[in-house]
Each structure stands twice: as C-alpha cells, then as structure tokens.
Amino acid sequence: MSVNEIIEKAGVKSVLADNDKDLIRRAFDFAQSAHKGQKRQSGEPYINHPLKVALGVAEMGLDVSAISAALLHDVCEDTSCDTATMEKNFGKDIAFLVDGVTKLDKIRFHGTEREAENLRKMFLAIAEDIRVVLIKLMDRLHNMETLSFMPADKQKRIALETLEIYAPLAYRLGIGEIKGQLEDLAFPFVYPKEYEWLILQVKDPLEDRKKYVARLTPIIKEELEKENVKNADIHGRAKHLFSLYKKLLKYEMDINKIFDLVALRIIVSTIEECYAALGVVHKLWRPVPGLVKDYIALPKPNGYRSLHTTIFGPEKKVTEFQIRTKEMHLEAEQGIAAHWAYTEGKSTKSYQEKGIIFASKKELGWVSQLRDWQKEFSKPDEFIESLKIDFFKNRIFVLTPKGDVIDLPEGATPIDFAYQVHTDIGNQAAGARVNAKMIPLNFELHNGDVVEIIVQKNKKPSSDWLEFVKTAGARKKIQAHVRQFREVAAFSQKGGQVVELRLSVRDRIGLLKDVSGIVADFKINMKSVTSETKNRVYPLIIINAPIKSRNQLEKLMVKLKTVKGVEEVSYKLLTS
Ligand code: MN
C-alpha cells in the first residue's frame, strides 16, 4: 500500500492538479517521519494505518484536504506536534480537520443508552465539519478490522462504542455500507455467544439462498430486456450479520421467517426503469401483500431511496427485491459522501462554493434526519453552506479528564462544570485546567474542552461566582452555601440572633402548648407567637425568638419536627 494508490483513487472522481498531488505527498512524508519507528499492535508499521484511512477517505470521494488530514490524523495524538505546526505546514483547513479528529479521540463511551444519544450529538458538535466525522468513521473502520490485536479488555469497550456510537452515526449520515461493516466487525466482540450461534444457524440457509437467487437472475434479466430495460445490474446481496441478528430477535429467532437473508438487487438507470422493473418482478411472481414499499416516493428519514418488494418465487420461496438507480445505490452505500462525490465530479468549483450546490433539498434526505436531532436547527441551507455542524447552538459538550461527557449551556464556566460533576467538587473548587492549561474560574468553556477541576479541602464557594455561572443548579448550590455562611457569621457576631421559625401544622388541641414547651426546654424566650390560617391547607405558626447559635437552631428544628401535627419547619434570620 502506498501513497500513489491514494493519489490514483483521489483522481478517479476529478482530475487532480499537480499541487494537489504534491500536497498529498507532503502530508504522507510528514506523517511517515512522525510515525517513524512506531508500530501498530499488529506489529506492522504505524504508517499503514493512516494510509488505509486516507484510502477510504479518497474512495468516498472527499476532497484533497480531507485526504491529507486523514494521512495526518494521528500525528498530533502520537507525537509532539501542535495545531500551529500543522497550520504552518498545511494551512488552516487541514489543521482544522486534524484538530477535529484529534479532539474526537478523547470521547469515550462507557455504556449506558442514555449516554449514547448524548455522545452521538456531542460527536457531531465537536467534529464541526462532516469531513471530520467521515475521516473518523474510516479511522474506526480500520481500527475495528485490526481489533483482534488489541488487549482483550480494550476490545470489548471499543467494539461496544462502535456499535453504540459509530454505527448509528454512519446510519444517520446514510452510509449504509460502513454502518453494516462496523456492526459486523463489532458483533463478535460484544455478543460472542450470539455471534457463534448465528454463524451456525445461517451457514446452510445462506448457501442455499445464494444458489437460489443465482437461479432467478437470468429469468429476470430476460424479462427486463423484453420490457426494454437494458444493462440492469442484478445481484444477490447477503444481509449483514448484525442486522440479521437484530431482525431475528423480532422473529422468534426463526431464520425461516427472514425473507431478505439474501435479497436480490436490481440496479437500473432511471426512476422510470425502477417502476418498470417492479412491474416485471410482479408479473413473474406474486407479491406478498403489504410488503411492497416505495421508498422512492417516500424516502426513509436518512434519505434512503429504493423500491422494495417481497414475492413468492419458484418453490414458493419468499424472496425480497430491492430496486434502485445507480445514483440511489451509491447514496445508499455512501450516504452524504455520495453527494459529495457527485458535486465533485460535476463541477470545478472550490470546496466552499460547492457547499451551495449541496443545498439542493431534493438530493439531501439526510439533512432532514440531522434536523430531527435538534429541532431548533431550522435552516438546512445555512448548515450546508459551511458544512459546519453547529446546530446544537445552545449547548456545549465538554469532557472530564476520564472522557465522560458533560452537557452544559453555552457560556458555561468551569464552576458550572464542577457542580454538574458533583456538588462537593463545585463547593471545593479552587482552580481549573482546560486542555491542560490553568484558566480563571469564569473562563468560558467550548465544545470538546477537557476540563479538570482542582479542589481544595475546606474551600468554600464564593458569592462572586454568582456573577458568572450559567446553570441554575450551580446557582442554587452556591446561594445555599453563601446563605449558610452568612448565617454562621450572623450568629457568631452577636452571640445571639433573632430567628423567625415557621411551622406548618395540622392543628389539634394542645399543639401550641407542646411547641412552646420545647422552645422553653431550650431556655429560649419567645418574643412573639402568631398564626396564619387564611388560604392555607396547613395553618402556619410563626415564632420569633433569639437563638444563640446555628447549632442550637438546628437542634431546635429537629426537635420541633418530632411534635405530632408539625408537618414542616423552616426559618428566616431577622435583621434586628
Ligand atoms: Mn487513527
């Protein structure tokens, strides 16, 4: 595998200028010297990995910047190098892409479903650019292909992350082929027993089905040609193993109930031919009622288009057909990347200009899916124009040093972060590091920042923090502390403080006497006792009394709560 292979692939969709070729070569040389002497877990030279990733990116038809960034994607992770160096050598666009991929490396999935959806969103928010996501998907694909060389404890975590985060992302971007590959690679690591079971189950039926489908192919071909549909590409396609497994879960694990174990694909030139082909198939064999699906007229939310039908074939074997145009086929396999490839092929425009071509809504079913993720993202054109993923406008996602995701409102500070992680961490926050640099506590956090809070025992929250915190949770906790602090000060200053105690009660005969008795036991002289009953479910007894210390106040409140009929006790410090 060499850089020339990549240049060749990159030149398939559009002719590369000499300086584009030079750029790719320079990126390769830089990566090669950066990874010099490094080995993958498999023992092969490290550089093979970025080469594989870049080849995948080139096959997707992405631009020269993305291909170069793919070659460089692990340089900053594994060796001493920074964004400034990248930018100096390769320009802003590539430096931005490499930085994006490096940031995404910090995301770790630890395994709850609730977390998964957040993580997927954060992934896109941090990536900021679809190209970053696509590079990362190719990176993950190659890492999955070589997962067996990793230590066992890592295998499971990485495979689960692939299943929960990467495969769904690929699906939502409409990249069905990558999604299927990622899932199938992760499957044996995440569910080893189920995988073994499935392989045994599927072996014979799969072979039978492949032979069966091969028999049908010439029959259809002949009939299509009679209808003047020429050059149709007809082939059988075995279902991806993991999606087969998921389907089996819904069908009592009975493989005989799965009609698309091997589906027949008919790929034609035009939409008219799609419907003509459907007619031909239905003329040959009787369709199963209710299983004809027109995803051309009504595409799936991720943009998928095809005609599906299921028929009773020869020997009454139930068989699924998928009928689509070449363009739809490419879209189904490559999703958003296919759109990219199309515009790339058709125009000589620069990357920024091309963004506008993307805005053709008809072509972009996948955008509607992305929009569903965040309803407030209302103008797909804007989004596409820059290819920036900034539709999580009001939220940012930052990381703990362990890689856990913390979701915060825009403008949030390390104090908001600290309280979100744990109240004690907020209360004892003394300083903060963001991306390993010391920063002030009112620093505004950004997507993908790795935030570390420095705590100091016995440190107290400061009322100054109230001026900059953004989350209600942090505000409440700081206020509670500040109030407590003031109270301690109030008691200690005077050696006594007038407190207003408010008791919600279910009134009964003798209640007030019991309450007064307890106050007297504490040797406290009440200044006044009043009650309020108007518009209340529970009447209120209000006692004003001087109290010596916070400690005494707390003890008194505990005692009052034990009185039968007292439902709730609260207090207020009165300024004398
Ligand atoms: Mn990598």
Return the domain boundaries, the chain: 3-190, 193-330, 408-485, 492-573
pLDDT over 60 (residue 283) = yes
Running DSSP on this structure, what letter comes out for residue 166? I
β-pair type (307-312, 286-287): antiparallel
pLDDT over 90 (residue 29) = yes
Mean pLDDT of the chain: 83
Look-up: residue for tokens 């209808």? 227
pLDDT tier at 115, thresholds 50, 70, 90: low
User: Across residues 63-89, what is the average pLDDT?
Assistant: 86
The rounded distance, in Å, linking the Cα atoms of 126 and 406 is 13
pLDDT over 50 (residue 379) = no
State residue 117's pLDDT score: 67
Same fold, 193-330 and 492-573: no
The rounded distance, in Å, linking the Cα atoms of 137 and 215 is 37
Q: What is the pLDDT of residues 310-345, one digit of tens each?
A: 999 888 888 999 999 998 898 887 766 665 544 443
Classified by CATH at the fold level, domain 3-190 comes out as Hypothetical protein af1432 (1.10.3210)
What is the CA(147)–ligand 1 centre distance, in A? Answer: 12
Helix, strand, or coil (residue 449): coil
Classified by CATH at the fold level, domain 492-573 comes out as Alpha-Beta Plaits (3.30.70)
State residue 262's pLDDT score: 87
CB 310 within 8 A of CB 263: no
What is the CA(136)–ligand 1 centre distance, in A? Answer: 8
What is the CA(187)–ligand 1 centre distance, in A? Answer: 21
pTM: 0.63
What is the CA(54)–ligand 1 centre distance, in A? Answer: 10
What is the CA(78)–ligand 1 centre distance, in A? Answer: 10
Q: Known catalytic residues? A: 77-78
The rounded distance, in Å, linking the Cα atoms of 533 and 347 is 79
Classified by CATH at the fold level, domain 193-330 comes out as Beta Polymerase; domain 2 (3.30.460)
408-485 classified as CATH 3.40.50.920: no
What is the CA(110)–ligand 1 centre distance, in A? Answer: 20
Structure token digits, residue 550: 């916070």
User: Pick the residue with more confidence: 374 or 126?
Assistant: 126
Helix, strand, or coil (residue 557): helix
The rounded distance, in Å, linking the Cα atoms of 509 and 34 is 86
- Say which residues have a Cβ less than 8 Å from residue 63's Cβ, sequence separation at least 6: 131, 340, 344, 351
Distance separating the N- and C-terminal Cα atoms of the chain: 84
